[in-house]
Amino acid sequence: MVRIGTLSVDFEQRDLRRHGVPLRIGARAFEILEVLHRANGSVVSKDDIMDAVWPGAIVEENLLQVHVAALRKLLGESRNLIKTVPGRGYLLVAGSPPDSRPQDASTPGDGPPLPSAPLIGRQAEIGQVIDMLDRMPVVTLAGAGGIGKTSVAAQVARDMRRRARCAVHWVELACAATRDDVLRALAAALGVPADGVPGIDAIADAIAASRCLLVLDNAEHVVDVVARLVETLAARTDTLRMLVTSREPLHVPAECVMRLAPLAVPDRDARTDAIAGCAAVQLFLCRVRATTAGREVDEGGIRLAGDICRRLEGLPLAIELAAARVATLGIEGVASRLDDRLNLLTGGLRCAPPRHQTLRATLDWSHALLNPAARALFRRLGCFSGPFTFDDARAVATAPGTPLVETIGGLGELVAKSLLSVEFRGARAQYRLTESARAYALEKLRDAGEFERVAACHARHEREQWGVTAAVVPAGAGPASQPAEGGERDQPAGAGPAPEAAPASSRMSVCGAHLHGGASRARSCALPTPRR
């Protein structure tokens, strides 16, 4: 057996273990590990790796990157043993001799991933989560994809371990698909020997006598399984603390939920120094400097950065992807292309999981978690560019005769999975899609062939609600424009001010134009037709 960080590897038997527990790994990833190991600490070019692992085949480089990322995840805290040498390839730092000592749950364990960049604007949330873990056995960090749940959880885990408050065990669940997969991942993180699928009793026994933090990262696609396991573990021991990251809460009795909010964005009329001080803008400028050799950004660039962050609504992943485009397009070029954000915001970090490589991939991951009815509701809600009510959603986005309980359940699922936000104004609930979620919903609406029908339904509903006047999108707004400050629905749902003289017949064309092509086309459709 060869020791590579926390792993023990038998290349002849193709056996990979952590503390005696067998680990599952793809054949290609194992072969890449073997190629790097045989190089004895020397750099192996990407071409040489691909020739060895995929002989005679034409393979894109990103496939190699995916397998290297999987290996780094398996290595956990030792992920830095696989080093990327820019322009040359990869190398594996020479491993240490085998060590068959079992891991005790009170030892440091497989800790959180190392930070790839400074964490900006999250100190308050980190402190709040640590306080919650002092009081509650289970804390779920919930929020939209790309909001920064994993980064915050990792910093919480590092802080708690550094203060010697408890051991930390990090469990990555992105690749888990079944209860057995989750149990294997838990056992591997805790060093629980197991032949086949480990039992929950063995896992509970491993942590019963020690104070430790168990972090379950990316639980949303196995949320039912994780909820049952977490509830069982919480009932077995009072010294265990569990931190879960998920796009929706677990809904178990011992759970305390913290919904991670977007980063703060500046007001439209804020001073330049106030703009530069906002967390979202700080993140954007930090990433821009990292990709442009530290080039300073002037006052005009800072104001544009504020506009970009505001339109991206403080979503960290979207901001990072936008900043990555500055090296090619400049800040002004990025700002002018945000209406096409799903095609613009690509090219994430190579070490990032595939779902964080592009904004569309992040939304794909969330969309795949919805049931068919919720998917249909979500795409139809894309017709609303601003706040809307339950009655609006029921009238426009559901088929006639749809049971009330189905609409309630669909909206609840979208809110729970962080695809739809809800605010309460007095006793009334108002819903809203983010600009990015709305752009994605409209894309799905077109793909489903429902665009014209839903646009017409939206037009009829607004005509019934607001009379014969036509809604025109405010100047400068795009097809994914934000609502007015405050979000009050004093205008038709998803629309702007209504001109007095527009004929009723223009309502449908205005709404359709708004969905299709934005403000300029909507305004032209709203103009009265000249008499002939």
Give me the pLDDT at residue 73, please. Answer: 82
Asked whether 45 and 20 are in contact (CB, 8 A), the reply is no
Give me the pLDDT at residue 209, please. Answer: 64
Asked whether 145 and 362 are in contact (CB, 8 A), the reply is yes
Domains 2-92 and 123-259 equal at CATH topology level: no
Domain assignments of the chain as residue spans, ordered by start:
2-92, 123-259, 272-358, 370-449, 450-478+494-532
Across the range 453-474, mean pLDDT stands at: 73
Among 123-127, 204-208, 323-327, the least confident range: 204-208
Beta-carbon count within 10 A of 332 CB: 13
Asked whether 140 and 244 are in contact (CB, 8 A), the reply is yes
Q: Letter for the amino acid at 163? A: R
Distance between CA atoms of 75 and 29, rounded to whole angstroms? 12
Distance between CA atoms of 243 and 255, rounded to whole angstroms? 10
Q: Cα–chain-centroid distance for residue 90?
A: 28
Give me the pLDDT at residue 352, please. Answer: 67
How do 15-18 and 7-10 pair as beta strands? antiparallel
Among 8-22, 247-261, 391-405, the least confident range: 8-22
Cα distances from 11 to residues 14, 65, 427, in angstroms, run: 5, 21, 64
> Is 70 exceeded by the pLDDT of residue 122?
yes
Confidence of residue 262 (pLDDT cuts 50, 70, 90): very high
Which among 217, 195, 198 is positioned nearest to 207, based on CA atoms? 198
Looking at per-residue confidence, does 491 or 112 come out higher?
112
Which among 93, 81, 76 is positioned nearest to 39, based on CA atoms? 93
Give me the pLDDT at residue 110, please. Answer: 57
Across the range 464-480, mean pLDDT stands at: 49
Q: Classify domain 123-259 at the CATH superfamily level.
A: P-loop containing nucleotide triphosphate hydrolases (3.40.50.300)
Looking at per-residue confidence, does 379 or 93 come out higher?
379
Asked whether 270 and 277 are in contact (CB, 8 A), the reply is no
* Model confidence pLDDT, tens digit, residues 496-531: 333 333 333 333 444 444 454 443 333 334 333 343
Asked whether 266 and 238 are in contact (CB, 8 A), the reply is no
> Is 70 exceeded by the pLDDT of residue 329?
yes
What integer best gives the mean pLDDT of the chain? 81
* Model confidence pLDDT, tens digit, residues 331-344: 999 999 999 999 99
Give me the pLDDT at residue 282, please. Answer: 96
Looking at per-residue confidence, does 301 or 470 come out higher?
301
Q: Which residues pair with 122 in a beta bridge?
A: none
Q: Which CATH class is domain 370-449?
A: mainly alpha
Residues present in the chain in total: 532
Confidence of residue 447 (pLDDT cuts 50, 70, 90): very high
Distance between CA atoms of 226 and 173, rounded to whole angstroms? 10
Distance between CA atoms of 377 and 190, rounded to whole angstroms? 41
- Per the listing, tokens 């530069």 go with 276
Among 130-139, 267-276, 353-362, 476-485, the least confident range: 476-485
DSSP code of residue 243 = E
Q: Which CATH class is domain 2-92?
A: mainly alpha
What torsion do the CA atoms of 428, 433, 435, 436 make, to the nearest 10 degrees? 160
Give me the pLDDT at residue 492, please. Answer: 54
Record the tokens describing residue 35, joined without a space.
């190629």
Across the range 155-165, mean pLDDT stands at: 84
Among 34-43, 136-145, 235-244, 306-315, the least confident range: 34-43
Give me the pLDDT at residue 411, please. Answer: 96
> Is 90 exceeded by the pLDDT of residue 435?
yes
